[in-house]
Amino acid sequence: MKKFTLPVGIVLSLLVIAALVGAAWQPQPTAAVEPRTFASYEELVQYIEKNSRLAEESRHLPYFSYGGREIATTGSANKMAAPQAAVPETANDMNVMNDAADYSSTNIQVAGVDEADMVKTDGKYLYIITGDEVKILAAYPPQEARVLARIKFEGRPAELFINQDRMMVLGSDESGQKIVDLIYDIKNREKPELKKKVEFKGSAVSSRLIGDYVYLMATTHMGNKIELPWISTDGIVRTIPPTQIHYFDGLDYSYCYTRILAINMMNEKESVGGKTILAGSSQNIYVSPDNIYLTNSKVPDVRIYTNKLLDSLATLVPEAYQQRIIKIKDTDGTAREKLQQAEVVLEEYIGQVDYARATELEEKIRSYQEKWQRDLERERNQTTVHKLGVSGNKVTYRGQGEVPGRVLNQFSMDEHQGFFRIATTSESWLLTDRTPSNNIFVLDKDMKIAGKLQGLAPNERIYSARFMGQRAYLVTFRQVDPLFVIDLSDPCKPAVLGQLKIPGFSNYLHPYDENHIIGIGKEVAAPMSEPIPLPRLDAPQSTPASGSVVSDQVVEKMIMPPPVVRSEGLKISLFDVTNPLQPREVAKYVVDGYSDSIARQEHKAVLFSREKNLLVLPVSIGPPFIIMEDRAGAGTRARYGERWEGVYVFDLSNTRIKLRGKIEHPADNRYQGGTGLPVKRSLYIEEVLYTVSDQLVKMNDLKNLREIQQVKL
């Protein structure tokens, strides 16, 4: 009898799949059970080294691509999602009052949960980060505007919080390796007094201010040597012991310490609280007044899938061979090594059967392979969500959940009446190759899926999401911009109410009121429904490559597919969802030219007030090309041409968008080629509009946009 050899392709596929299959299942910890901690430093090191090896093994096998990236790149990690009320209250909607003035505050995600920013105001003063300085300006009245104080930050300041007469500045040291948080007493704005300094190794992910407490989320990555995390408060260093480092069962490619610190801004004597968790890098964060939600992509566990694969292979052979394969599961060694041992057993058996039986076995192995690959791809496309409760300086673990797909950004998440809602983009491999579709999942207080809506807009991805009370709004995009209106009144049965398809897309959705939504994105040319007929060809045509005649007759028509859709100018849309079954775009404004706005990626750059019928957006306009100049004796150089930088100010009602005017921030002598100064933020105090770039603060009358004053920074 001729020996039959197991095809090399199948053997390699088995090695790949078995090493990957671990992504399809992982045990779930019981909700509200505090994660385990390490007993010693040695146990911590062993855990990291062992699990890192297993994760790396699957990461570098053929056909496996790391799934830790976020799907979408059109948004930052900070976009707008829905607060708790039916009509979400953002800081811009809430026009906070004090004794000095009516003023706008940072455009935040959730009412009562402030977000740090590079510019803040309290209605009388401005607090601005530029370069390595924090500047305090007397802002109102504008005629008396001036710089009161300059605080030199030893490193790189990034964002700040203001809470009454306290200011917290968040940044990093010069090396970028340490986070530095400084708390100042600013009763005397001309002479801020440093009250507290907190430092630790790591990089900031996000932060929130709830009441008097700042919750800072950060990651500390491992170096060549595994070190314990530490924190320094006013020069006193405290090392976090292994018994206070929590961890979950599971693998990760790059372990780091996820740190949630709770810092009291008003009482510098209170110790810093929080929690330290050993996990992968958190990708997106959502924060409600009571909870923090951290998301991570799952990582395959090669051990589980290898054992499942060996169990399946054992069913294909007689009992004597079965036992030999089953015993391989208990051996040490990698998944590849275990499968190589199983291969020897399979080769031995297949070599003893006839061709027909060998072919039958091969087909069964292939069927296992295909199923395991599909299971693997589904599993590594999962997102894990960790829920942590916050109260004062206490952070408490409240459980974890899991949903298919990847999260665009924090605005794809929301908490409402005890339920956590999340929108994802997932990919399918069952009958198609990595076809994306979109979903909404509703999780209960124990982070178990209570309701779901899957398969929205095949072949498209989520570009923006917004939750508003009992509804959700999703914008997906490929060639047109479908706006989906989704009913969440029954958390267990989410359902599509209506949809609208128009050219373009929105990267950011902002509620105007309960029946109208503002969209900020890009216009695109309307997609063509018919192929393009090319002109008649009246002469024989030849291919350049061969010179052969294509046709010696007149070609009546040649067809080519529609061109790739290209985005055009910045677009502001106003959607009417009064009838959720038939949403309408009731108004739009497209900025001419090669225009864009940081507001598409950064929600804090948006200034909106329904009471003032006001929308202000930073806008950049410039040529879509680069001019190459030939300089005598100096070679060529790129000249990008002039760019207009400033803000567009709109009158906005529930029926129209009308341009009120523009405010430019022109270049100074240090800027080559006439490029303007990009406006980073805008705000108002009473009837004065303030626009802030790195070197200039302009003050204009909010009604007629007449310039009142400007202060150079």
| pLDDT 10s digits, 257-269 | 999 999 999 999 9
**CA 215 vs CA 218, 263, 285, 641: distances in Å:** 10, 7, 12, 43
Pairing of strands 532-533, 516-524: unpaired
Question: Tokens at residue 10, please?
Answer: 């199948």
Q: What's the average model confidence in pLDDT over 61-75? A: 33
204 vs 220: CA distance, rounded Å: 9
Q: What's the average model confidence in pLDDT over 410-417? A: 96
pLDDT band at 251 (very low <50, low <70, confident <90, very high): confident
**CA 82 vs CA 78, 109, 117, 158, 374: distances in Å:** 13, 6, 19, 25, 34
CB 469 within 8 A of CB 55: no
109-113, 555-559, 560-564 — which is least confidently predicted? Answer: 555-559
190 vs 177: CA distance, rounded Å: 31
Reported as a single tens digit per residue, the pLDDT across 155-203 is: 999 999 999 999 999 999 999 999 999 999 999 999 999 999 999 999 9
**Segment holding 15, helix H or strand E:** helix 8-20
More confidently predicted of 213 and 308: 213
Token pair 């909700």 is found at: 31
Pairing of strands 435-443, 419-428: antiparallel
Among candidate residues 624, 575, 566, 615, the one with its CA nearest the CA of residue 595: 624
* Strongest mean pLDDT among 134-143, 542-551, 668-677: 134-143
Residue type, 274: G
Q: Which residues on neighbouring strands pair with residue 534, listed in sequence order? A: none
Question: Tokens at residue 150, please?
Answer: 């300059």
More confidently predicted of 143 and 254: 143
* pLDDT value for 5: 52
Q: Per residue in 484-501, is it b (16+ CB within 10 Å) or e — as a string?
A: bbbbbeebeebebebbbe
Q: Report the chain's mean pLDDT, rounded to a whole number.
A: 83
- Secondary structure class of 237 (helix, strand, coil): strand
pLDDT band at 582 (very low <50, low <70, confident <90, very high): very high
604 vs 80: CA distance, rounded Å: 9
* pLDDT value for 620: 95
pLDDT at 502 over 60: yes
**Segment holding 137, helix H or strand E:** strand 133-138
DSSP letters along 20-84, please? HGGGG--PPPPTTPPPEE-SSHHHHHHHHHHHHHHHHHHHTSTT-----S-S--SS-S------S
Q: What's the average model confidence in pLDDT over 369-387? A: 83
Total residues found in the chain within this entry: 713
Q: What's the average model confidence in pLDDT over 445-467? A: 94
Q: For 527, what's the count of Cα atoms within 13 Å in the CB-facing half-sphere?
A: 14
* pLDDT value for 367: 83
* pLDDT value for 477: 84
* pLDDT value for 29: 37
* pLDDT value for 377: 78
Residue type, 540: P
129-133, 155-159, 349-353, 564-568 — which is least confidently predicted? Answer: 564-568
pLDDT at 102 over 70: yes
* pLDDT value for 387: 96
Among candidate residues 265, 93, 75, 73, the one with its CA nearest the CA of residue 169: 265
Reported as a single tens digit per residue, the pLDDT across 628-649 is: 555 555 555 555 567 899 999 9
Among candidate residues 217, 147, 252, the one with its CA nearest the CA of residue 189: 147
* pLDDT value for 58: 63
Q: Model pTM greater than 0.75?
A: yes
Q: Which residues on neighbouring strands pair with residue 178, listed in sequence order? A: 201
DSSP letters along 319-356, please? HHHHHHHHHHTTS-S-HHHHHHHHHHHHHHHHTTS-HH
- Secondary structure class of 503 (helix, strand, coil): strand
**CA 483 vs CA 438, 442, 508: distances in Å:** 13, 20, 12
63-72, 299-308, 495-504 — which is least confidently predicted? Answer: 63-72
pLDDT band at 299 (very low <50, low <70, confident <90, very high): confident
pLDDT at 16 over 70: no
